[in-house]
Amino acid sequence: MKKVLIFLTVTQLTLVSCGAQSTQTKEKKNTMSETKKPDQTKAGSPVYSKTDSSKVNMSEEEWKKILPADVYYIARQKGTERPWTSKFEKFDEVGTYYCAACGNALFKSDTKFESGCGWPSFYDPISKGSIIYTPDNSHGMTRTEVQCGRCKAHLGHVFDDGPPPTGLRYCINGVILDFEKAKETEKKFNEKKGGE
């Protein structure tokens, strides 16, 4: 019994410290169906582009048609994936992270760090315009939500307990991220830069 109580306490503290939404309605849980739609975030999406920076304005019905259920839940319903479930949490490839809903560049891999909170964490976005900051007073907490600067997809939250040089921790849902590996020349440049 003592072990169960310790486990529950640690789990609750982790969720609160990372700004996870600890309460979800049954309706929202049901939107995360076990059977996903085919990956439409790239092929078949009229808005997904890694080069187009124009703002995306679509209705929720249009988003629902083109996004897989798990991406829709996070991006449009401001959901939170379970901690330690993202393939990007312990991921260390060199490259760029993009918004899975629209293809907007969000973070470079050299700004990713291990925060221990259970979600992929970064200390700096790729550009000032790649992220939108919105006050979030839900769940009895005061936080800053981060959204995609192109399509306003919910990404996660930003906290002021990150490493230098920014001191920020962008705690991001991995479901809303796409990743593109760096080309060999970019990898060599980053390795050389890191060795100086």
Query: What are the backbone angles phi and psi of residue 191, rounded to the nearest 5°?
Result: -65, -40
3-state helix, strand, coil in the chain (%, to 5): 30, 20, 50
Concatenated DSSP letters for 167-183?
--EEEE-GGGEEEEEPP
User: Measuring CA to CA, how many Å separate 65 from each of 37, 71, 117?
Assistant: 10, 12, 32
Q: Would you give the DSSP letter of residue 121?
A: E
Element (H, E) at 99: strand 95-99
The 8-class DSSP code of residue 81 comes to: P
151 is catalytic: no
SS3 62: helix
Q: Which candidate in 99, 102, 117, 171 is catalytic?
A: 171
Cα separation, 123 vs 104, whole angstroms = 18
Residue positions annotated with a catalytic role:
171
